[in-house]
Amino acid sequence: MLLVDDDEGVRAFGVAVLERCGMRVITASDGREALDLYARRAREIDVVVLDRTLPGTGGDDVLGEIRRIRPDASVVLMSGYAEAVGRDAPPREPAGFLRKPFTHEALAREVRRALEAGGSARGPTG
């Protein structure tokens, strides 16, 4: 599991929730770091939870590059901006979407859905 958000509080919250669900989580604080991690560890990352509005390399660009590396990648997008939800569609449909702020139940539910949709593509960071 890779969790990408520039907000340290969101990353800490996500790690705590997902580790309580039995998942191993690695984090990135920006798009460039996320892409570097994903390029090295794509086969062991079964789900990416990705903020759509990252500084620098934005979430849509990160999603596109992740899908170039691994077309079957399971990605859950998140955003706190209403305009980032419907008007500008991301490249290819994400496995899920979280509107910030979200509850621990919503995060766990979306990640479980993404894992189920990924089927046998699940890796050791489950």
pLDDT tens digits for 76-91?
A: 999 987 644 444 555 5
Give the integer Cα–Cα distance in Å for 19 and 8: 16
Amino acid 86: pLDDT: 47
The pTM assigned to this predicted structure is 0.86
> CA angle at residue 109 from 43 to 107, to 5 degrees?
80
Residue whose pair of structure tokens reads 């086969």 in the numeric block: 43
pLDDT in tens, 9-26: 999 999 999 999 999 999
Amino acid 81: pLDDT: 79
Output the tens digit of pLDDT for each of the chain's 126 residues: 999 999 999 999 999 999 999 999 999 999 999 999 999 999 999 999 999 999 889 999 999 999 999 999 999 999 987 644 444 555 556 889 999 999 999 999 999 999 998 743 333 344
Q: How far apart are the first and last CA of the chain?
A: 6
**Going edge to edge, which strands form the sheet with 2-4?**
26-28, 2-4, 48-51, 75-79, 96-99
Domains along the chain?
2-121 (3.40.50.2300)
